[in-house]
A = this chain, B = another copy of it.
């Protein structure tokens, strides 16, 4: 184990901050280190240049009779600011009470290195039960701008039956967790235009439509008093949550309490009839991400502003169509505007929800691996956000992804004092081996 930890610390010491151009050489060196590591394990490894940071691909010696598992991860990390809130140097891995503190410890070096060490262990204990392709990118923290085109260009050489990713969360310590769904998104921005110039609200107040008031009314109209979205047709295609999902999520420790604790909100809020976790993972939403109009500075300025704006995003669940939702939302807003002002709706980016069947053969194999590793029944959850990479893998390579996360709620990813428990590091090495063995049993 000590040699595993030594190697892990070597990996962690690269300040591979992808967003900061002054770390460009460090990102590159980290990729080189990975290639060398893979080669030492006997894999066919290559660093592929992109317009940004390189992508590392490493393949085990292919066996036509075995299924192939693609293991995705990323070796780039978030910046370390605010640096003076770190209790240990951010790029000097420090082991304190069973946790390794270092930027990238959980996100994602610790999780992908556990996979690497798992494969290494299998190789030195009789060989791999499946073909393995590692795909490690250096641009996840900046939105993976070059990954989709790389996947497209290398579709055949990356061909696999299933993908495995450890970059999601665990419900809690020792609770094996598989994420099988992600919400999609649809965005729009709209502006309300009123008078041709800012008006004195004394002279004209009460006689012309005030765009700041109209924007408030429109945004306020998105939900009814029960938290239901009022856009006609919004829920039409929504796949209702299944009975087993609601039962499983109800068993999770303190859904409401953890939502309040994590957010600092004083009370829960949301669609009537659903728990906090159901609202976050399984129900679609309409959120206003920004609203603005008129005078927002110190003191007062009695003005009727000429325009006001709002940015909305809709989190979507399986079977909803993002374009249809954006179109319906635009119509809903436009229909309320009347003739006293004008509205201009601009659609933004969108992406579908993702869900894989956790009761498929692959899903069940992953759960068996989790059960064996943690000696506990795995929880099946979804997450509320989108992970664009998972969509790209599904869309371009045509395969599902098993999301077997090892990140604990207090691992501080993207924040100072990021850490990874040695317990989960060791579990991850076991999980990889158990997973590959379980997947080997499935028909190719």
Oligomeric state, in copies:
2
A269 engages B209 (CB within 8 Å):
yes
Question: What are the residues of chain B within 8 A of A302 when measuring CB–CB?
Answer: 185, 187, 287, 289, 313
A311 engages B295 (CB within 8 Å):
yes
Q: Is the C-beta of A219 less than 8 angstroms from some C-beta in chain B?
A: yes
* Cα separation A301 to B348 with both chains bound (whole Å): 11
Q: Is the C-beta of A66 less than 8 angstroms from some C-beta in chain B?
A: no
Q: Is the C-beta of A270 less than 8 angstroms from some C-beta in chain B?
A: yes
Instruction: Give chain A's interface secondary structure class.
Output: mixed
| Minimal beta-carbon separation of A50 from chain B (angstroms) | 23
| Minimal beta-carbon separation of A331 from chain B (angstroms) | 19
B291 engages A259 (CB within 8 Å):
no
B203 engages A313 (CB within 8 Å):
no
* Cα separation A196 to B260 with both chains bound (whole Å): 10
Number of interface residues of A (CB under 8 A): 85
Q: Is the C-beta of A141 less than 8 angstroms from some C-beta in chain B?
A: no
Please give me the residue from chain B that is nearest to A284 by CB atom. Answer: B206
* Cα separation A302 to B267 with both chains bound (whole Å): 21
Closest 8 pairs between A and B when the two form their complex, measured CB to CB = A196-B264, A202-B385, A220-B220, A216-B219, A206-B285, A290-B294, A267-B339, A269-B340
Q: Which one of A51-59, A74-82, A275-283, A355-363 is at the interface? A: A275-283
A residues 162-180 near B (Cβ < 8 Å) are none
State which of B199, B206, B264, B277 has its C-beta within 8 Å of the C-beta of A197. Answer: B264
8 A-B pairs with CB atoms under 8 Å apart are A206-B279, A207-B276, A212-B291, A216-B288, A220-B221, A267-B341, A287-B302, A292-B292
